[in-house]
Amino acid sequence: MALASMQRKTNVRLPPEINRVLYIRNLPYKITAEEMYDIFGKYGAIRQIRVGNTPDTRGTAFVVYEDIFDAKNACDHLSGFNVCNRYLVVLYYQSTKAFKKLDTDKKKAELEKVKMKYGLSEEN
């Protein structure tokens, strides 16, 4: 039986955005890594969980699965899952989007420095 499931997995072609890393939003701020393992571990072996702990990252987490099919299964089943009256938003992590946001934030910061340097403000 295990051989049949292995064969099935090797013949499946997944969309390119699907990967082993899930990005979770709308988590309760007080959730622990252990609680995350309880919720997400039901779908397969987990390599790592990172729960946000700064003001900017609270309510978010990354879950890295050992197997891409486990990550897909978790994403399919846990999107919209209710945890402490909050509905989880489960997405596949996309590094290109993260880098674009960093670039945008960096450009905004540089623009603000230039404005400060030359005494420019929104009123001018």
- Contacts of 61 by beta carbon, 8 Å cutoff, 6+ apart: 23, 24, 27, 31, 36, 49, 50, 51, 52
In angstroms, the Cα distances linking 15 to 23, 68, 80 are: 17, 11, 21
Total length of the chain: 124
3-class SS shares of the chain: helix, strand, coil, % to 5 = 45, 20, 35
- Cut 0.75: pTM above it: no
Strand partners, 62: 23, 50
Whether 72 contacts 84, CB under 8 Å: no
Architecture of domain 19-95: 2-Layer Sandwich (3.30)
List per-block mean pLDDT (blocks of 10 residues) for the chain, which spans 124 residues.
50 77 95 95 96 92 94 94 94 72 68 68 51
Ordered by start, the domain boundaries in the chain are 19-95
What are residue 4's DSSP bridge partners?
A: none
Please report the pLDDT score of residue 113 as a whole number: 72
